[in-house]
């Protein structure tokens, strides 16, 4: 689970080589400059590990709008996504952090999840939907997640907060990251892609 790829020795060479990964990037809202480097099927744990990566030369924007910040350091994070068949799906990324002169050290935003969440948007949406029909403990058991994390999702979206499906209507660029000349053909345009997400 703590495996980390080493792009310094293999900078982006897989990026164009596996068409299946490109399809899964669309399914999971993994967007340029991030890409799937590897997917590992763990039959013992019944899990699919999706390893997301980026070219180490990539610069990122700060959420304040300042562009072109180099990577300060990285924090390994994992997100639970919707299952593939009977296998749990875990998205894994050593999240780059930038050091902005105005804002300090901050994680970049990712397209598949809100800040501080252990789940993807689609997984949170599933949790919210199921809790309308069954007790929280049953939702946790059904999805094989902890009750504490189910409760945190409920607390986050109660009180009139919009559910994730309305914050993010579909695939689109990560806000604040300019898709440059390397952006994949067929990427949707930056504007009108379902609105911007709230800032946590
Ligand atoms: Zn900033």
Angle between helices 136-143 and 121-130 (to 10 degrees): 140
Residue 130 alpha carbon to ligand 1 centre in Å: 37
13 pLDDT higher than 60:
no
- Where exactly are the structural domains of the chain? 1-111, 113-167
Residues 6+ apart with CB under 8 A from 50: 24, 28, 30, 36, 39, 81, 89, 90, 91, 92
In this predicted model, which residue has the larger pLDDT, 150 or 176?
Answer: 150
* Contact yes or no for 122/110 (Cβ under 8 A): no
Distance 104 CA to ligand 1 centre (A): 7
- Report if pTM > 0.75: no
Q: What is the pLDDT of residue 158?
A: 78
At 133-175, the pLDDT tens digits run: 999 999 999 999 999 999 999 998 876 555 555 445 444 433 3
Calculate how far, in angstroms, residue 97's C-alpha sits from the geometric centre of ligand 1. Answer: 11
pLDDT digits over 52-92, tens only?
A: 999 988 999 998 999 999 999 999 999 999 999 999 999 99
Distance of CA 68 from the midpoint of ligand 1 (Å): 11
Q: How far is CA 45 from CA 49, 76, 77, 103, 143, in A?
A: 10, 20, 19, 40, 15
Q: In this structure, which topology does domain 113-167 adopt according to CATH? A: Arc Repressor Mutant, subunit A (1.10.10)
């Amino acid at each position: 689970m703590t495996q980390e790829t080493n792009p310094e020795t293999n900078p982006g060479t897989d990026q164009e080589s596996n068409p299946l990964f490109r399809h899964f990037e669309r399914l999971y809202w993994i967007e340029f400059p991030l890409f799937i480097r590897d997917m590992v099927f763990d039959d013992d744990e019944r899990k699919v590990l999706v390893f997301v990566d980026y070219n180490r030369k990539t610069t990122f924007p700060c959420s304040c709008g300042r562009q072109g910040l180099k990577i300060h350091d990285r924090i390994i994070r994992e997100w639970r996504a919707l299952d593939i068949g009977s296998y749990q799906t875990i998205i894994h990324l050593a999240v780059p952090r930038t050091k902005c002169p105005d804002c300090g050290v901050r994680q970049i935003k990712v397209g598949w999840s809100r800040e501080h969440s252990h789940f993807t948007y689609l997984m949170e949406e599933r949790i919210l939907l199921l809790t309308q029909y069954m007790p929280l403990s049953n939702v946790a058991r059904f999805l094989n997640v902890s009750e504490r994390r189910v409760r945190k999702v409920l607390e986050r979206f109660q009180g009139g907060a919009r559910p994730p499906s309305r914050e993010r209507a579909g695939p689109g660029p990560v806000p604040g990251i300019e898709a440059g000349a390397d952006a994949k053909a067929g990427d949707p345009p930056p504007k009108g892609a379902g609105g911007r997400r709230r800032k946590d």
